[in-house]
Amino acid sequence: MKAHLSRLCVLSLLAAILFVAQLPQVAAQGGEPQYFAIRGAKVVPVSGPPMEDATVVVARGVILAVGGKDVAIPADAWVIEGKGLTVYPGLFDGLTDVGIPSASPAQGEGGPRGGGGTPTAKGPEDRPGATPWRTAANEVSLGDKRIESWRNAGFTTVVSSPKGGFFPGQAAVLDLAGERSGDLVVKAPVAIPISLNPSGGFGSGFPDSKMGVLGYVHQVWLDLDWSSKAGAIYEKNPRGISRPRYDRVETALAGALEDHALVLIPANSALELRRALVLVDRWKIPGAIVGAQMAYEVADELAAKKLPILVSLKWPEAEKDADPDDVPSLRDLRFRDKAPSSPAALAKAGVKFAFTSDGIASPAEIVKAVKKSVDAGLAPDAALRALTLSPAEIFGVADRTGSIEKGKIANLVVTDGDLFGEKTKIKMIFVDGKRFEIREPDRPKDPPKGDMTGKWTLKYTTPEGDEETTVDLTMAPDGTLSGTTTGKRGTATIITGYASAEKFSFTINMPIQGNNEDVIFTGTFEKDTMKGSIAVLSFSIDFTGTRPPATAGSISLGGVQ
Amino acid sequence: MRVHSMFRVSLCAAVLIGAVSLRAPAAPPPPDAPPVILIQNATVLTVTKGTIEHGSVLIKDGKIAEVGAGVKAPSGAQVIDGTGMFVTPGIIDCHSHIAVDGSVNEGSISVSSIANIAEVLDSDDISIYRDLAGGVTTANVLHGSANSIGGQTIVIKLRWGQPAAKLPFEGAMPGIKFALGENPKRSNFSIPGREKRYPASRMGVEETIRAAFTEARDYKNAWDAYNKKVAAGEKNLIPPRRDLRLDPLVEVLEGKRYVHSHCYREDEILMLLRVAKEFGFKVRTLQHVLEGYKVADEIAAAGTGASTFSDWWAYKVEAYDAIPYNAAIMTRRGVLVSINSDDAEEATHLNQEAAKTMHYGGLTHDEALKLVTINPAIQLGIDKRVGSIEVGKDADLVIYNHDPLSAYAVVQKTLIDGRVYFDRQKDIAARADLEKEKKALLEKEKKSSKKDDKKDADAKKPSDKPAEKKPDATKPEEKKKPEDMPMMPSADAATNMSSVTGGAR
User: For A310-336, what is each residue's pLDDT tens digit?
Assistant: 999 999 998 877 788 888 999 999 999
Strands B63-68 vs B51-60: parallel, antiparallel or unpaired? antiparallel
Angle at which helix A330-338 crosses helix B424-455, to 10 degrees, equals 50
What is d(CA B264, CA B300) in angstroms, rounded to the nearest whole number?
16
Helix (H/G/I), strand (E/B), else coil: B73? coil
Structural domain contains residue A530: yes
- What's the confidence (pLDDT) of residue A356? 98
Is B472 close to A266, i.e. CB distance below 8 A? yes
DSSP character string of A2-64? HHHHHHHHHHHHHHHHHHHHHSPP-PPGGG--SEEEEEEEEE--SSS--EEEEEEEEETTEEE
Residues A279 and A368 in one domain: yes
**Would you place residue B476 in the very low, low, confident or very high pLDDT band (cuts 50, 70, 90)?**
very low
Number of neighbours of residue A304 by Cβ within 10 angstroms: 13
Partners of residue B107 in chain A, C-beta under 8 Å: 202-203, 208-209
A13 pLDDT above the threshold of 80: no
Q: Which of A4-18, A181-195, A542-556, B273-287 has the lowest mean pLDDT?
A: A4-18
* Helices H / strands E in chain B, number of each: 12, 16
A350 pLDDT above the threshold of 80: yes
What is d(CA A311, CA A394) in angstroms, rounded to the nearest whole number?
13
Residue at which a domain ends, from A238, A256, A274: A256
Radius of gyration of chain B (CA): 25
Partners of residue A128 in chain B, C-beta under 8 Å: none
**Would you place residue A173 in the very low, low, confident or very high pLDDT band (cuts 50, 70, 90)?**
very high
Residues A267 and A288 in one domain: yes
Q: Which one, of B397, B464, B474, B449, lies nearest residue B91 by Cα? A: B397
* Mean pLDDT calculated for residue range A10-14: 43
Structural domain contains residue A207: yes
Q: Provide ipTM, 2 decimals.
A: 0.86
Q: Does A316 touch chain B (CB under 8 A)?
A: yes
- Percent of chain B, pLDDT > 90? 77
* Mean pLDDT calculated for residue range B161-178: 97
**Would you place residue A86 in the very low, low, confident or very high pLDDT band (cuts 50, 70, 90)?**
very high
Structural domain contains residue A445: no
Q: Nearest CA of chain B to the CA of A469: how many Å?
A: 17
Cβ(A378)–Cβ(A339) below 8 Å = no
Could you give the strand order of the β-sheet that contains A287-291, starting from the edge strand earlier in sequence?
Answer: A91-96, A155-160, A171-175, A185-193, A262-267, A287-291, A309-312, A353-356
The residue among A493 and A250 whose pLDDT is bigger is A250
Q: In chain B, positions 464-503, which contact chain A (CB-CB < 8 Å)? A: 464-477, 479, 484-486, 497, 500-501
What is d(CA A273, CA A280) in angstroms, rounded to the nearest whole number?
11
Paired with A471 in beta bridges are: A456, A485
Residues A99 and A229 in one domain: yes
Residues A377 and A412 in one domain: no
- Percent of chain A, pLDDT > 90? 63
Q: Does A122 touch chain B (CB under 8 A)?
A: yes
A110 pLDDT above the threshold of 50: no
Residues A326 and A469 in one domain: no
* Mean pLDDT calculated for residue range A430-434: 95
**Would you place residue B14 in the very low, low, confident or very high pLDDT band (cuts 50, 70, 90)?**
very low
Contacts of B377 (CB under 8 A, 6+ apart): B92, B138, B383, B385, B386, B387, B388
Q: Which one, of B253, B257, B313, lies nearest residue B279 by Cα? A: B253
**Would you place residue A493 in the very low, low, confident or very high pLDDT band (cuts 50, 70, 90)?**
confident
* Mean pLDDT calculated for residue range A159-171: 96
On average, the pLDDT of chain B sits at 86
The residue among A550 and A172 whose pLDDT is bigger is A172
A556 pLDDT above the threshold of 80: no
What is d(CA B204, CA B52) in angstroms, rounded to the nearest whole number?
53
- What's the confidence (pLDDT) of residue A323? 83
Q: What is the pLDDT of residues B440-471, one digit of tens each?
A: 999 999 888 776 655 544 443 334 433 333 33
- What's the confidence (pLDDT) of residue A205? 87
**Would you place residue B505 in the very low, low, confident or very high pLDDT band (cuts 50, 70, 90)?**
low
Domain that residue A386 falls in: 261-401
Structural domain contains residue A303: yes
Partners of residue B104 in chain A, C-beta under 8 Å: 209
B7 pLDDT above the threshold of 60: no
Structural domain contains residue A160: yes
Residues A274 and A382 in one domain: yes
Q: What is the pLDDT of residues B197-245, one digit of tens each?
A: 899 999 999 999 999 999 999 999 999 999 999 999 998 899 999 999 9
DSSP character string of B231-278? HTT--SPPPPPP-TTTHHHHHHHTT-SEEEEEE-SHHHHHHHHHHHHH
Q: Which one, of B39, B475, B361, B313, lies nearest residue A271 by Cα? A: B475
Contacts of A79 (CB under 8 A, 6+ apart): A36, A37, A39, A73
Nearest to A210 among B7, B103, B465 (CB): B103
Residues A118 and A245 in one domain: yes
Phi, psi of B407 (to 5 degrees): -70, -15
* Mean pLDDT calculated for residue range A43-64: 96
Q: Report the alpha-carbon angle A538-A544-A545, nearest 5.
A: 120
Contacts of B278 (CB under 8 A, 6+ apart): none
Strands A91-96 vs A51-59: parallel, antiparallel or unpaired? unpaired
| A113, closest residue in chain B (CA to CA) | B108
Structural domain contains residue A516: yes
Is B501 close to A216, i.e. CB distance below 8 A? no
CA distances from A69 to A13, A38, A82 (A): 14, 11, 12
Partners of residue A327 in chain B, C-beta under 8 Å: 442
- What's the confidence (pLDDT) of residue B1? 32
Q: Nearest CA of chain B to the CA of A484: how many Å?
A: 8
* Mean pLDDT calculated for residue range A161-190: 96
Cβ(B365)–Cβ(B356) below 8 Å = no
Q: Does B289 touch chain A (CB under 8 A)?
A: no
Q: What is the pLDDT of residues A128-163, one digit of tens each?
A: 999 999 999 999 999 898 999 999 999 999 999 999
Q: Does A318 touch chain B (CB under 8 A)?
A: yes
B25 pLDDT above the threshold of 50: no
Structural domain contains residue A447: no
Structural domain contains residue A98: yes
Residues A156 and A216 in one domain: yes
Cβ(A521)–Cβ(A537) below 8 Å = no
* Helices H / strands E in chain A, number of each: 12, 24
- What's the confidence (pLDDT) of residue A34? 78
Q: Does A449 touch chain B (CB under 8 A)?
A: no
Q: Look at chain A and report how many structural domains it folds into.
A: 4
- What's the confidence (pLDDT) of residue A519? 85
For position A499, which CATH number holds? Answer: 2.40.128.120
Residues A97 and A85 in one domain: no
Q: Is A483 left (phi over 0), alpha (psi -120 to 50) or beta?
A: left
Residues A139 and A230 in one domain: yes
The residue among B194 and B321 whose pLDDT is bigger is B321
Q: Report the alpha-carbon angle B131-B355-B503, nearest 5.
A: 50
Is A206 close to B444, i.e. CB distance below 8 A? no
**Would you place residue A36 in the very low, low, confident or very high pLDDT band (cuts 50, 70, 90)?**
very high
Phi, psi of A164 (to 5 degrees): 105, 125
Q: What is the pLDDT of residues B56-90, one digit of tens each?
A: 999 999 999 999 998 999 999 999 999 999 999 99
For position A350, which CATH number holds? Answer: 3.20.20.140
Is B11 close to A330, i.e. CB distance below 8 A? yes
For position A406, which CATH number holds? Answer: 2.30.40.10
Residues A277 and A349 in one domain: yes
Residues A176 and A203 in one domain: yes
* Mean pLDDT calculated for residue range B41-69: 97
Contacts of B304 (CB under 8 A, 6+ apart): B273, B282, B283, B284, B285, B286, B335
Partners of residue B102 in chain A, C-beta under 8 Å: 198, 209-211
Strands (E), B142-209: 149-157, 175-179
| A471, closest residue in chain B (CA to CA) | B467
On average, the pLDDT of chain A sits at 87
- Give the burial class of B75: count Cβ atoms within 10 A of its Cβ; 0-12 exposed, 13-18 middle, 19 or more buried: exposed
Cβ(A197)–Cβ(A209) below 8 Å = no
Cβ(B351)–Cβ(B135) below 8 Å = yes
Paired with B155 in beta bridges are: B140
